[in-house]
Homo-oligomer: A and B are copies of this chain.
Amino acid sequence: MTQTSRGFAAHSPTEALVPFGFERRDPRPDDVVIEILYCGVCHSDLHTARNDWGGTVYPVVPGHEIVGRVVSVGAEAKRFKAGDQVGVGCLVDSCKQCASCKHGHENYCPKMVGTYSGKDLRDGLPTYGGYSDRIVVTESFVLKMPDGLDLKGAAPLLCAGITMWSPLMHWKVGPGTNLAITGLGGLGHMGLKLGKALGANVTLFTRSPGKEDDARRLGADRVVLSSDAGQMKAVRGAFDVIIDTVPYVHDINVYVPTLATSGTLVLVGYLGPLEPALNSVPLILGRKAVAGSVIGGIAETQEMLDFCGKHRITSDIEMIAMNEINGAYERMLKSDVKYRFVIDLASLGR
């Protein structure tokens, strides 16, 4: 039977999110039907609701930091059973044929299906995200939530967590790595926690004084005010890896000299032209790299969740009811959240 769902949707770039009733697809043999308990609120939700990146399919039900409980599974879905605690992140399908899929990097598959504002590869129907009471997902894109982790705080791991974890793994951050995180928001605070748990020496770059105590509590060994030339000079050549979470245009030329020889600065937050122009001189004379990374593959997302389970890592969150989402968006635009809003879907009523 079709799964009737209730949620919140944006119907145009300029309208607030409002209650929305819609149909989920009939479960296919390899599907898992999930009752959504909590859903983190990512900046991408807001950007998509407002069509900031173009291409939004309306009505859009955002939400891709989903934690829930399995209601039922299809006949061929063997990995889960009713009652299991599961997660769904930013992607719900991919082609499974391309080089990226074969390497477990479904997040780089050209046909990757987003959890919302996407189109199902088999039936062509739109995908709707986690601002809703339930979701139907192919089991190979469903994650197992580790036991003992607070599920509310774990929801943001599905996007903010994996967005930081994937580059930490790809650029081999581990014990003794000198790691810097630029920006202390939803992504940045997860970077501090994960980097510290991996054994790295962790530095936070911030433009705002007064974040020192919180940064240290979250895992930073050092806080550097990037607007202070003296502090920046003191860390020249210091970092093997910098993960830059700042989501707006900013001058990355100030960070490149703080990379060690052969170091890499990884952009995960800002999509657009790098202005002022990136200077190639320190790249060439120090074999440095500027790279990018987006979310992660399914296997590495599970690996991250298991790591977080073992190390008791969750996001610092502020719970909201579903009908508080529009106000939450306004606060996010002012960076007024420590460090992630999470929606309690029980607030929709059952």
Contacts and interface: CB of A to CB of B under 8 A. Distances in A.
Contacts of A170: 262, 287
B292 A288 contact: yes
Interface stretch (A78-86, A149-157, A272-280): A272-280
A261 B291 contact: no
Interface stretch (A67-75, A126-134, A263-271, A315-323): A263-271
A264 B284 CA distance: 13
A285 B170 CA distance: 15
A289 interface: yes
A20 interface: no
A254 interface: no
B268 A279 contact: no
Interface extent on A, as a size class? 35 or more
A108 B287 CA distance: 8
Given A277-B273, A278-B278, A99 B260 contact: yes
Interface in A232-268: 260-262, 264, 267-268
A261 B166 CA distance: 14
A143 B270 CA distance: 45
Interface string A95-117: 00001100001001000000000
Contacts of A289: 264, 289-292
Contact of A267 (B276, B280, B286): B280
Interface of A: 99-100, 105, 108, 170, 260-262, 264, 267-268, 270-294
